[in-house]
Chains A and B, each alone.
Chain A
């Protein structure tokens, strides 16, 4: 299948007669629209509405990041096993009373 034949195929397809909508189509749509329970076309829907909707998610994500950072900071500041062992040794070896 060469390029020329594919072009010929597309060109022929472009000329296809498209179907006309049935005469009562608009009325059918209108009936369906009237059955819509939640249709509120006159309500504004601005960028602020979007943000308000998204806010719980944004707040949750921000809280998760804060908690993660706090845990990471706390974990990093804890003495490691080596530090702990050295501290215990020092307390035992250099205490005033000794063993």
Chain B
């Protein structure tokens, strides 16, 4: 099994079919990133395809100094950001009908020992993050859920490190307010 650099070299030399292998290697990562921002399976698939097509179109710009997975992750994040900006249905559509019973219990409970499963957490965050701007959402998701560094977020979003820090702080405050608002409903 050759590494990405060799594979890319063959693709650049005209072996278009090899691009499928590159997709197979990185598709799980791309789906994982996109799923953080969109839960509809079909939409995630469309966005993943958009991500790889963008990568294909810009393949000649990939200089190979950083791993290909970093580059494709950046493209996936920007695709997700564009999607959030396009997707207006998310605005002002907060409703409890989208939350499961466990998530509702956790949200309304003051008891810190109440357990919350990953699905419930995703539901709550998805709902609360609709109060955030797309850029705020991307920053807080990358920092708190994906565990990325400020440097990585800055590279993915095209912002400076200082701007990312400020945005992350503001986004966290907004998210806290949105969660409090949800808990009071």
Verify that A and B bind, or say they do not.
yes
Task: Check B118–A13 contact: CB distance below 8 A.
Answer: yes
Task: Check B53–A41 contact: CB distance below 8 A.
Answer: no
| Main secondary structure on B side of the interface with A | helix
Interface of chain B residues 110 through 169 with chain A (CB within 8 A): 112, 116-122, 124-125, 144-145, 147
How many residues of A are counted as interface, with CB atoms below 8 angstroms from the partner's CB atoms? 38
How many residues of B are counted as interface, with CB atoms below 8 angstroms from the partner's CB atoms? 48
Interface of chain A residues 20 through 38 with chain B (CB within 8 A): 20-22, 25-30, 32-34, 36, 38
Residues of chain A touching chain B, judged by Cβ–Cβ distance below 8 Å, are: 1-2, 4-6, 8-22, 25-30, 32-34, 36, 38-45
Q: List 26 A-B contacts (CB under 8 A).
A: A2-B112, A8-B116, A10-B144, A11-B121, A12-B117, A13-B121, A13-B145, A14-B145, A17-B118, A18-B32, A21-B48, A25-B27, A25-B48, A29-B20, A29-B52, A30-B16, A30-B17, A32-B49, A33-B19, A36-B56, A41-B59, A42-B12, A42-B13, A43-B60, A44-B60, A45-B61
